[in-house]
Amino acid sequence: MKNKYMPTAVALYINYIVHGMGVLIIMQNKDALAAQWNTNVEGVSSVVAMLGIGRLVAILISGWLSDKFGRKPFVYLGMLVYVLFFVGILFSPSVLVAMIFGVVAGIANSCLDSGTYPALMESFPKTAGTANVLIKAAVQIGQFALPFIIAFLGSSGLWFGWSFIVCILLLALNAVFLLKLPFPDADNKAEGTAKPEPVTATKFKSKPNMKIEGVAFVIYGFISQATFYLISQYISLYGEEVASMSENAAKLLVSYYSTGSLVCVAVTAVVAAKVRPVNLVLPYTLMSFLSITAMWLFPSPMVLTVGAVFVGFFAAGGVMQLGLTVMGEMFPAGKGTITGIFYTFGSIASFAIPVAAGRIASSNPRGIMLFDTIIAGIGFLLAIVIFIRYRQTIDTSSTGAELSAGQTNAEVN
């Protein structure tokens, strides 16, 4: 509690509250933006897809740049680039211009990640996993709050752009708050000290096979991102078009989804410290598949409300991070490389899924949930493969691997 970096951590989490809003803000304002850009839902979805492209481009170099120039400068760079995104989207005259700023948002996300995750792990070396999981909680707080802000603006007859202004003001105020706060890498550099790397303690019964479980993990990174990304971006559209919910009621489905995710973050942070993460990946993935299937088969307001909470809990509350943790146990060497590959495929999903979903939504909105059901089903099959191979290769009588920096990075998406 006396850690001098606690205020720094608070400021970093505030950035991810804004990031949580940024992930949803385009689709939550899809009607107003579609009219502004003279397009339809497919055109708006193409802008959302650009976030994945921007992240994919930047994620390969942003970590190296953060090591070279420091955590704090890179956090500020991410905040500045995010402001450019909010302003750019708000005043873009066309889809093409908006797509450029969509790429900007992806770059901003990578900048924040590359500065924030190392800073938190260096600030709290004994509880790095918990510190990083809380980023997921911050993202969900933003995603929970945004629909209420937009619903209030809509019911009050106010300009939709105020939702963008709120995000810009939060970043500006947080930039001032963060200005004088310390960062551990800068302190260590000034003192001439460095943090030791964590030591893994994984014991093997047989050598993991990159061609089997390695490939399964990489595809799982894509699938897990795609599963909850579809829900977060399209459940409001699905509720309005398929379940005949009012516009405001449909938008609140995202808040129910975020509530489930927040609860899961709290539960998983406790449970994952007592059981092996692989024992959570399989049931979480199964329940996600069943919940999405129910929403496809029975698209009523009640089923969507309950389903949104369940998918938020089981698909968006940390299962992607658990999957990466298990991968880190099975391939303990080169965790940075493994993490980069895992999240690169997640970024590919952030680009590919909105493109495909936008085309489906423009002609058959119910097909969105069928699409997600198929994806979640593939994810469950991969989870079975991972679970079986884990049992065949890892000596579960050992204490397991210490969660390291590479094993606890969270996605935000």
**Residue 127 confidence (pLDDT):** 65
**Cβ atoms 326, 357 nearer than 8 A:** no
- What pLDDT, on a 0 to 100 scale, did the predictor assign at position 208? 74
Which of 145, 47, 59 is CA-nearest to residue 108?
Answer: 59
Please state which architecture CATH assigns to domain 198-413. Up-down Bundle (1.20)
Structure confidence at residue 162 (pLDDT): 96
List of residues 6+ apart from 286 with CB closer than 8 A: 380, 383
**Furthest-apart CA pair in the chain: how many Å?**
64
pLDDT for 129? 58
**Euclidean distance between CA atoms 123 and 402, whole angstroms:** 17
How many Cα atoms sit within 13 Å of 217 on the Cβ side?
30
Q: What distance in Å separates the CA atoms of residue 413 and residue 52, rounded to the nearest whole number?
A: 10
pTM above 0.75, yes or no: no
The answer to whether 128 touches 403, Cβ cutoff 8 Å, is: yes
Q: What is the pLDDT of residues 260-276, one digit of tens each?
A: 888 888 887 777 667 77
3-state secondary structure the chain: CCCCCHHHHHHHHHHHHHHHHHHHHHHHCHHHHHHHHCCCHHHHHHHHHHHHHHHHHHHHHHHHHHHHHCHHHHHHHHHHHHHHHHHHHHHCCCHHHHHHHHHHHHHHHHHHHHHHHHHHHHHCHHHHHHHHHHHHHHHHHHHHHHHHHHHHHHHCCCCCCHHHHHHHHHHHHHHHHHCCCCCHHHHHHHHCCCCCCCCCCCCECCCCCHHHHHHHHHHHHHHHHHHHHHHHHHHHHHHHHCCCCCHHHHHHHHHHHHHHHHHHHHHHHHHCCCCCCHHHHHHHHHHHHHHHHHHHHCCCHHHHHHHHHHHHHHCCCCHHHHHHHHHHHHCCCCHHHHHHHHHHHHHHHHHHHHHHHHHHHHHCCCHHHHHHHHHHHHHHHHHHHHHHHHHHHECCCCCCCCCCHHHHCCCCC
For 40, list phi and psi in degrees, rounded to 5: -125, -170
The answer to whether 103 touches 136, Cβ cutoff 8 Å, is no
pLDDT of residue 361: 81
Q: What is the C-alpha to C-alpha distance for residues 296 and 294, in angstroms, rounded to an integer? A: 5
Those residues of the chain that have pLDDT short of 50 are 194-200, 334-336, 399-413
CATH code for residues 1-196: 1.20.1250.20
User: What is the predicted pLDDT for the residue at 320?
Assistant: 72
- Domains of the chain, by residue range, sit at 1-196, 198-413
